[in-house]
Amino acid sequence: MEPKKLRWPAIAAAAAAAMMFTAPASQARTSPQSTTHAEAAECAPGTTVQTDKGPVCGTVSGGVASWLGIRYAAPPVGELRWAPPAPAPAWTSTFPATERGTNCPQADGLGAGSTNEDCLNLNVRAPENAGAKRLPVMVQIHGGGFRFGTPADGSHLVRSGNVVSVEVHYRLGIFGFMAHRDLGRNSGNYAFQDQQAALRWVQRNIARFGGDPGNVTIYGASAGGSSVCANTVSPTAKGLFHKGISQSGEYNSLLGTNTSWQPQDCKSELPTAEQAHRTGDRFAAAVGCGDAADTAACLRRVPVQTLLDKSGNGMGPDQGTIAPIVDGKTLTMSPAKAFATGRVNDVTLIHGVDRDETQLASANTPADYQRMVREQYGRYAPHVFARYPLDRFPEPSAFIAYRTIVADSNSVCPSLLNHRRMSRHMTVYAYQSDNSDAPPASFLDQTKPNGAFHVLLNQFLSPRPGANLSPNQKAFGAQITAQWTGFARTGNPTVKGAPFWPKFTSRAPDVMSLAPAGDSELTREIGRQHHCDFWDRLTPYNR
């Protein structure tokens, strides 16, 4: 029998009092069907929702109802390690979705370390008193270079923008991208397959939480922004979402020299399946499976920690594939090539970067500047020196000059180039974040002038409790929140509390310069100011 579809907040009348549920010890995370029982956290009255796999209940705080750690696919363990996500088993007892789900396996680089593969879970948050009308849905895809991370709490967007938030855990690193011929011709890109499985869960279930399955926006920064690009061009994502916001999705080293990450962003030329399979052969040998009669079975028996240790940062020749590839099914070409050739899904995008993004080491002396430019740009170094002479930058000139070069080559100009490519085939709203005084992130050297740094918008979309923002930054946060949630609602970021923001076109290539204190304005000067004529010649698919 089809489960009864309950609406939020209409579900508030479904129960008269809070209930305690006897549940598995891990049930409050990801295992409703486990047989080991323990007392679970308490659900709030009226929060029981019947999903397509079984009932869940949640909590209410600060005007936001939350259901956490809901499984959207089967645990990717055993034979399902390095396999497309399988349907989650059904359950009958009400699952108390009151605790955050397990993080996917990763080293402890961002404080989210885990060795638990049973991690394909998501969170749903909705306004406590949303009314009868179905609300726009914002699906968050977290960043972390496809190696790290966990979703941020979307309550601020729910509370301020009257949307439904969905926050997704997906496989990372070697678990999300390992490719080997014995794992299948189209092996790899499990991370994107997980994201798409979560989007299919949204299509089946989000109406029961008050969301509109016909109005779904995916968004994310860094690897999350890259994921938006990938899903925008993925044939298997067609119809699963309607709008996307790609934040800071251009960040890879332009020429691949001393890069922090394997090629993975919205501009990169991704490895082919054949290349990834050869990398998989070397990784299999490195973990002791090179001569196995059944390589796939051997790989699936390797302990999680061993796989994390052996894959490391992915920079060594035997560390496997830990980032996207052109597998032939989930991705049939690199996103940048798809943007250039029009092989895209029918979606509308907000797309942009932060002006001073860097993902490389800093230059602290003139000698550093000279050496690092030569290392990064090789035979093009003389042209770079000519365009970015140290004597044109204030002290610390080496730091600022190199920061500017890296941002222009890796992020600013490739983003502008992708605006032009995308706009020929879809509606695009282009931006550049020029907020140079945002509260500094923990990963920055706070003694340096970091400018408008990588993923700076995150702190305004998921603000820290008690954050002490200046009046200028409070205005910026209010504007970004209004634009992002307004776009999710209507497909247009021109909303109350924000300036007019037209779409980017070849005839009117307007980019919104996002600035604090209500000073955002349109510009067409980015290409000239950032030497994009030079950098575009070096960018993939534009030669």
Tell me the two tokens of residue 347.
């979606």
**Burial state string for 156-170 with b = 16 or more CB within 10 A and e = fewer than 16:** bbbbbbbbbbbbbbb
- 179 and 265 in a single domain? The answer is yes
542 occurs within a structural domain: no
The contacts of residue 191 (CB under 8 Å, 6+ apart) are 146, 170, 171, 172, 176, 177, 227, 324
149 occurs within a structural domain: yes
232 occurs within a structural domain: yes
- Whether 190 and 322 have beta carbons less than 8 Å apart is answered as no
- 333 and 437 in a single domain? The answer is no
- Tokens 């016909």 sit at which residue? 214
27 occurs within a structural domain: yes
- Whether 453 and 438 have beta carbons less than 8 Å apart is answered as yes
Count of C-beta atoms within a 10 Å radius of residue 392: 11
Residue finishing a domain among 328, 346, 364: 346
- 233 and 184 in a single domain? The answer is yes
pLDDT at position 119: 98
End-to-end CA distance of the chain: 57
- 308 and 360 in a single domain? The answer is no
Count of C-beta atoms within a 10 Å radius of residue 396: 17
Could you tell me the CA-to-CA distances from 141 to 19, 172, 253, 290 in Å, in that order?
Answer: 32, 12, 22, 34
In Å, how far from its chain's centre is CA 531? 28
- Tokens 């059904």 sit at which residue? 90
487 occurs within a structural domain: yes
Structural domains counted in the chain: 2
- 468 and 371 in a single domain? The answer is yes
- Whether 74 and 120 have beta carbons less than 8 Å apart is answered as yes
Residue finishing a domain among 290, 323, 346: 346
Radius of gyration over every alpha carbon of the chain, rounded to an integer in angstroms: 23
- SS3 label, residue 403: helix
247 occurs within a structural domain: yes
Count of C-beta atoms within a 10 Å radius of residue 453: 22
- 471 and 489 in a single domain? The answer is yes
- 342 and 358 in a single domain? The answer is no
- 383 and 248 in a single domain? The answer is no
- 251 and 400 in a single domain? The answer is no
396 preceded by cis ω (within 30°)?
A: yes
Residue 402: give the domain boundaries: 352-536
Name the maximum alpha-carbon separation found in the chain. 74
Residue finishing a domain among 346, 379, 409: 346
- List average pLDDT for each run of 10 residues in the chain, which is 543 residues long: 35 27 34 45 95 98 97 98 98 97 93 96 95 94 97 98 98 98 97 99 98 98 98 98 98 93 98 98 98 97 98 96 98 98 98 97 98 98 98 98 98 98 98 96 93 97 92 98 98 97 98 98 98 98 81
Pick the closest to residue 117 from 83, 165, 66 (CA basis).
83
- 451 and 524 in a single domain? The answer is yes
Tell me the two tokens of residue 139.
């699906």
- 84 and 227 in a single domain? The answer is yes
Which pairs with CB-CB distance under 8 Å and at least 24 residues apart come from 441-446?
445/362
543 occurs within a structural domain: no
- Whether 432 and 512 have beta carbons less than 8 Å apart is answered as yes
Q: What is the CATH number of the domain that holds 481?
A: 3.40.50.1820
> 346: exposed, middle or buried (C-beta count within 10 Å: 0-12, 13-18, 19+)?
exposed
Could you tell me the CA-to-CA distances from 15 to 19, 47, 53 in Å, in that order?
Answer: 9, 8, 20
pLDDT at position 9: 33
- 400 and 341 in a single domain? The answer is no
Could you tell me the CA-to-CA distances from 2 to 129, 204, 319, 433 in Å, in that order?
Answer: 27, 12, 46, 47
541 occurs within a structural domain: no
- Whether 28 and 229 have beta carbons less than 8 Å apart is answered as no
> 206: exposed, middle or buried (C-beta count within 10 Å: 0-12, 13-18, 19+)?
buried
